[in-house]
C-alpha cells in the first residue's frame, strides 16, 4: 500500500482539514448556525471531549498497522458494550440484567472471532480496545456534559469546536514521537492528492452521519453501522485479500446478533417512550379542553343569571 506508518500525523491532517471546512461552512457559507458557548462550558465540556476524541482517533488509526481491516471491524462490535458499561459506571444508564446478558453475548462473540483471527496481534488488539474505550467515554460525556447543559452539537458544529482542540492534543505526542522520524525521512513528499482525498473522506463521513441522523435517527445510524461493518469485512476479504476464517465469521455472527438485538430493544424502548409521551399529551389536551368547557359554562351561567 502507501506504506506511511504515521497515525498521529494522519489524524492531525484529518483534523486540520475538517476544522478548516467546518469553519468555512459555519462562518462563510452559513450552512449551519454556530452554537453559543461560554468559555467555562468549553473548558469543562469540549476540552475533555477533544482529548478523548484525539486519543480514540490516534489509537484507532494505529491499530491498522497491526491488524486487518476485517478484524478491526469485528472488534468495533464491542462499542455498545463499552458505551453501556461506562454509562452504568457514570450512572447515566440503569443496570439491567437482561441488557448485561446481551452485552456478555456480544463480548463472547467477539472473543470467538479473536480466537479465530489468523493475524492476531496483541498490541494491535490493545490499541483498538483502547480506541473503543475512549470513543465510548467520549459519547457518554457528550450526553452528560453537553445535553445536560442544553447544548446539542451536530457533526459540523462538533468539528468546529472539537477539531482545533483535538489538533492541540495530538500535537503533543506528534512533536515527540513522529516529528523526529519525519524530520529524518528525507524521501517523504506530501502528496496532496492522496492526503487531500483521504481527508475529504474523513469529513464526508461526518457530514453523512449528520444528514442520516437528521433525516432518520441515531438508532438508524447504529443499524447502518452494522451493515457497514459487514460490507467492510466483505471488501477486505475480496479486494484487500485479508484472511477471514470460518471461526472469525461465526464469532462475529454471534456478536452481530447481539448488537441487532440491542438495537431492536432500543427501538422498542423508544416506541414505548413515544407512545407514553403522546398519551400524556392527549391527557393534557383533554384536561385543557375540559377546563375550557367548564369556564365557558360558568360564563354562560353568569350571563343567564344577569
Q: Residue 77 domain-assigned?
A: yes
Please report the pLDDT score of residue 231 as a whole number: 83
Domains identified in the chain, total number: 1
Q: Residue 291 domain-assigned?
A: no
Q: Residue 275 domain-assigned?
A: no
Q: Residue 257 domain-assigned?
A: yes
Q: How far apart are CA 38 and CA 263, in angstroms?
A: 35
The pTM is what?
0.80
Please report the pLDDT score of residue 187 as a whole number: 61
- Give me 285's grid cell: 389536551
Q: Residue 237 domain-assigned?
A: yes
Q: Residue 239 domain-assigned?
A: yes
- pLDDT in single tens digits along all 306 residues of the chain: 456 778 899 899 989 998 999 899 888 888 888 778 888 888 888 899 899 989 999 999 999 999 988 899 899 889 888 988 998 888 888 888 888 898 899 899 999 998 888 889 999 999 999 999 998 898 888 777 666 667 777 778 888 888 899 999 999 999 998 888 888 875 666 778 888 888 888 888 777 766 665 565 555 666 667 777 888 888 888 887 888 888 988 998 998 888 888 878 877 887 888 788 888 877 777 777 777 777 777 766 776 766
**3-state class (DSSP) for residue 117:** coil
Q: How far apart are CA 117 and CA 247, in angstroms?
A: 8
Q: 207 is in which domain, residue-wise?
A: 7-183+194-263
Q: Are 140 and 86 in contact (CB under 8 A)?
A: yes
Q: Residue 40 domain-assigned?
A: yes
C-alpha closest to that of 170 among 161, 182, 160, 162: 162
- Looking at residue 178, the DSSP 8-state letter turns out to be I
Q: Residue 56 domain-assigned?
A: yes
Backbone angles phi, psi at 48, to 5 degrees: -60, -40
Please report the pLDDT score of residue 266 as a whole number: 78
Please report the pLDDT score of residue 126 as a whole number: 96
HEC-encoded secondary structure of 36-81:
CCCHHHHHHHHHHHHHHHHHHHHHHHHHHHHCCHHHHHHHHHHHHH
Cα 20 to the center of its chain, rounded Å: 21
Amino acid at each position: 500500500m502507501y506504506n506511511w506508518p504515521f497515525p498521529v500525523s494522519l489524524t492531525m491532517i484529518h483534523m486540520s482539514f475538517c476544522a478548516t471546512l467546518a469553519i468555512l461552512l459555519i462562518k462563510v457559507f452559513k450552512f449551519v448556525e454556530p452554537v453559543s458557548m461560554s468559555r467555562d462550558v468549553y473548558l469543562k465540556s469540549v476540552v475533555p471531549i477533544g482529548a478523548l476524541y484525539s486519543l480514540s482517533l490516534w489509537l484507532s488509526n494505529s491499530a491498522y498497522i497491526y491488524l486487518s481491516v476485517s478484524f478491526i471491524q469485528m472488534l468495533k462490535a464491542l462499542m455498545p458494550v463499552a458505551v453501556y458499561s461506562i454509562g452504568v459506571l457514570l450512572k447515566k444508564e440503569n443496570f439491567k440484567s437482561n441488557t448485561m446478558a446481551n452485552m456478555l453475548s456480544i463480548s463472547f462473540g467477539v472473543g470467538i472471532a479473536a480466537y479465530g483471527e489468523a493475524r492476531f496481534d496483541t498490541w494491535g488488539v490493545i490499541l483498538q480496545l483502547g480506541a473503543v474505550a475512549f470513543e465510548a467515554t467520549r459519547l457518554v460525556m457528550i450526553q452528560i456534559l453537553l445535553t445536560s447543559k442544553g447544548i446539542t452539537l451536530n457533526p459540523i458544529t462538533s468539528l468546529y469546536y472539537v477539531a482545533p482542540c483535538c489538533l492541540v492534543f495530538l500535537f503533543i505526542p506528534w512533536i515527540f514521537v513522529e516529528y523526529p522520524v519525519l524530520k529524518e525521512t528525507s524521501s517523504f513528499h506530501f502528496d496532496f492528492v492522496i492526503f487531500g482525498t483521504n481527508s475529504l473522506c474523513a469529513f464526508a463521513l461526518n457530514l453523512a452521519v449528520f444528514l442520516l441522523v437528521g433525516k432518520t435517527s441515531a438508532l438508524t445510524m447504529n443499524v447502518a453501522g452494522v451493515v457497514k461493518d459487514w460490507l467492510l469485512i466483505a471488501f477486505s476479504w475480496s479486494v484487500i485479500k485479508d484472511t477471514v476464517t470460518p471461526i472469525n465469521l461465526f464469532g462475529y455472527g454471534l456478536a452481530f446478533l447481539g448488537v441487532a438485538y440491542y438495537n431492536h430493544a432500543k427501538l422498542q424502548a423508544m416506541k414505548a417512550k413515544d407512545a407514553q409521551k403522546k398519551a400524556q399529551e392527549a391527557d393534557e389536551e383533554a384536561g385543557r379542553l375540559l377546563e375550557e368547557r367548564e369556564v365557558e359554562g360558568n360564563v354562560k351561567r353568569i350571563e343567564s343569571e344577569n
